[in-house]
Amino acid sequence: TEGVQKRINAQIERTTKGYQSQSRILNELKGIALGYLSVHGASQLLSSLVRVTGEFELQKTTLAAMLGDLNQAEQIITRIQGLAVESPFQFKELTTYAKQLSAFSVPAQELYDTTKMLADVSAGLGVGMDRIVLAYGQVRSAAFLRGQEVRQFTEAGIPILNELAKQFSELEGRAVSTSE
């Protein structure tokens, strides 16, 4: 039995050494993998930063060309960047909408406030901002409200006829109905 016990102990010792060797190898592999992932992660982060910076510069340049003023474009883009952080919209979306509004003749000094107002309405109603920007831009560029835009606002969930009735009631000092 003493011989059997020695063989068992020797086998346990060999198995333990094998596990220790495997453990060292796994730790080395873990270190290599973490090193690779760190380098890969840093590379991905750098790539993302370059892409975002490039997008920022492209949007700023485009808006500057539309407005004819780089300083105004920089101010608007910076404010839109802040809006993108606090709203459900991405920077690129907001910039695209601001450029569309600029194309609809919204003055540069009103561009950010108008974009923010329409983003708030869109987020509040859960309606695509593109629909609201289009309807607003069409009214703005035509300088009057047509039936088509009334329908667009109504379909987007904006009770434009009710609001117009309220405004005309205040202006005329009498109750004006939506049908009027």
Whole-structure pTM value = 0.63
Q: Count the residues in the chain.
A: 180
What is residue 122's predicted lDDT score, i.e. its pLDDT? 92
Q: pLDDT per residue over 4-47, tens digit each?
A: 788 777 777 877 777 777 777 777 777 777 776 676 565 665 55
For residue 89, which of 61, 51, 130 has the smallest C-alpha distance?
130
Q: pLDDT per residue over 64-110, tens digit each?
A: 877 788 888 888 888 988 898 888 998 889 999 999 999 898 998 99
- Cα separation values, 83 from 95, 108, 115, Å: 10, 17, 10
CA 117/CA 115 separation, integer angstroms? 6
